[in-house]
Amino acid sequence: MFTLFRRKPITALLSSLSLLRGKAAFKAEIARQVTLDPTTLPYNQPLLNHLCAEHAAGRDIYLATAANEKQARGIADYLGIVAGVFASRENVSLRRSAKLDALQRQFSERGFDYVGNAGPDIPVLAHANTGMLANPSPSLAARLKSQQIKIPRIFGDRAPWFKTLVRAARARQWPKNLLIFLPIVLAHMLSDRHKLLATSIAFLSFSLVASTAYILNDMLDVEADRNHPKKRNWPFAAGDLTPQVATMCILVAVAAALAWKLPPQFAFWLGAYFVTTVAYSLLLKKVALLDVLTLAGLYTVRLIAGGAASQVLLSTWLGGFSIFFFLSLAMVKRYAELDSLRRAGYMPANERGYSLENMEQLRSFGTAIGYACIVVFTLYINNPEISHLYAHAHRLWMLIPVLILWISRIWLLAHRGKLDEDPVVFALTDRLSPAFGLVALLIVRGAV
């Protein structure tokens, strides 16, 4: 369903009308619209090894699933060890008792062993000769124990649930939202406890909404990510985390509750950020150049939201600088993604609107735009109005070589294939970037 939303959002919404005819009809409609590639799906390797061994020993292996039969037969054909398929059809949803009835009719004489993973499998596990589990849901073990259903074997290959959720929420990306503090930092208002508290709440609220957007984006991109040399190991693509919309709802609810305590302008920009990220996930990221403009704009929205939360007027100079600076970083991100695919021998297959031939053009755009932000900063230093913020404004000129070195180094490392696909993450883990930041802070401190 998420794959269909990524490809054809309108068709996905229209397909939802088939729910009026029941869940089975809905599954059949989605299966008609989308064919998943069985070669890239995340298989439970310990279970697959067990099934292959059982098949080699002469046992018949069947695939019994509530998924539509089109998807199920594609997987069965790919595995090559499946003797038959039990799956949902247009008018039959093979869940719970329906699945049990189908299996009991087929195997009435000898019975069957069954491997399940979720609550709807309990009736089948209760009547199986031997019940087994594969990556069971957290609540399943307790329910099986309460019903005194013994499970002799569990095939698990997922990473720990909480650790996986933190990865999916991309907490490591939260430092990007520190930009929300920049308006009060540049206005020299860090000592104002009220503004600092409001900005801190805004940071947490923005981070939760950003995590929601990351989760939604990863679910929409799951099929494309499975064809990517690095992203195939991300939580949803690797099958370590199933698409749980409830998780997103919780994050949004908490973020909204926090935003309620802040000025309405902040809630507006928070909502604008979320709507834009959804539009980016569904459409904007597929349009070359518009995607990087959107990413740069989302960084700038963080600054505006920070100013709205603390009720500090955002400088037009800061806005101009941030657009050019973050547009350059967005382009280096795209360049690094393409370079990573090129070095791994892959062709871009994520519908981002770029080809490997565009790399040099992206580098030309990105470096020029990166130096443009330095020009804006130079004009800012020459602005007489900054004298009320900096007693020694001329000392800010020492920031120019720092900016030139950092931006040039980012692009140089990207060209050498040594840049993480996200330059902000790289800056947080790079050995020299903190040194650049420390020098910049000392210069600003000396100019005050």
Per-residue pLDDT tens, the chain, 448 aa: give them: 888 888 888 899 999 999 999 999 999 999 999 988 999 999 999 999 999 999 999 999 999 999 999 999 999 999 999 999 999 999 999 989 999 999 999 999 999 999 999 889 999 999 999 999 999 877 787 889 889 898 999 999 888 877 888 888 888 888 889 999 999 998 889 899 999 999 999 999 999 999 988 888 888 888 888 888 888 888 888 888 876 665 676 778 788 888 888 999 999 999 999 999 989 988 888 898 999 999 999 999 999 999 999 999 888 888 899 999 999 999 999 999 898 888 888 777 656 688 888 999 999 999 999 999 999 999 999 888 787 888 898 999 999 999 999 999 999 999 998 886 678 777 777 888 889 989 999 999 899 8
Task: Write down the H helix ranges in 150-260.
Answer: 161-169, 182-186, 193-220, 222-225, 245-259
- 373: helix, coil or strand? helix
Question: 3.20.20.120, 3.40.50.1000, 3.40.47.10, 2.60.40.1170: which CATH number matches 35-155?
Answer: 3.40.50.1000
Q: What angle do CA 79, 83, 88 make, to 5 degrees?
A: 85
Place of tokens 């994520």: 350
Domain with CATH 3.40.50.1000 in the chain: 35-155
> What is the four-CA torsion angle of 314, 320, 324, 329, rounded to 10 degrees?
0
Residue 189 CB neighbour total at 10 angstroms: 15
- Find the helix or strand (DSSP H, E) in which 31 lies: helix 23-33
CA angle 332, 212, 219 (to 5 degrees): 75
- What lies within 8 Å, CB to CB, of 305 at 6+ separation is 180, 202, 206, 266, 269, 270, 273
pLDDT at 410: 94
pLDDT of residue 163: 83
- Whole-prediction pTM: 0.79
In angstroms, rounded to a whole number, what is the distance separating the alpha carbons of residues 334 and 340?
A: 10
Query: Per DSSP, what are the bridge partners of residue 342?
Result: none
What pLDDT is recorded for position 266? Answer: 94
Query: Token pair for residue 342?
Result: 């090129």
d(CA 262, CA 204): 12
Residues with Cβ within 8 Å of residue 244, at least 6 apart in sequence: none
Neighbouring C-beta atoms of residue 391, cutoff 10 Å:
10
